[in-house]
Amino acid sequence: MPRDLEEKLASHRVAQDRRAEGRPPWDYTVHLGPALRTEGGYEAVRDALVATLRASQWICDHGSDGGPLGQLVDELADTIDRKEGDDVLNEIARYAEAAECRAYLDPTS
């Protein structure tokens, strides 16, 4: 489910507060661009996204313990079509913006 305006505004306010405190708006950046440009159909893109997420410092630090973040990545790995994958990826994005250890999921780099 896509993020709504309230969620986006809340994330923006947190980023502003962090900047005002002298901290960066994000604790981690996960570069999803190469995975999103993978050729070969949905399964290839999904597998590249999962591999990228699992290799990221964000997941290593906060998602490898079997908690909700790791479970979401496992759920993404089990998706069978783009609609289902988009829904799970949106949940991962929500988690990234709401968590104390915020992560920017960069779709371009």
Per-residue pLDDT of the chain (109 residues; tens, 9 = 90+): 456 778 778 878 888 888 899 888 888 999 999 999 999 999 999 999 999 999 999 999 888 787 889 999 999 999 999 999 999 999 999 888 876 778 999 998 8
For the chain, the structural domain boundaries read 5-106
Question: Phi, psi (5° rounding) for residue 101?
Answer: -100, 75
Task: For residue 99, give both structure tokens.
Answer: 């968590």
Buried-state track 26-49, b at ≥16 Cβ within 10 A, e below 16:
bbbebebeebeebeeeeeebbebb
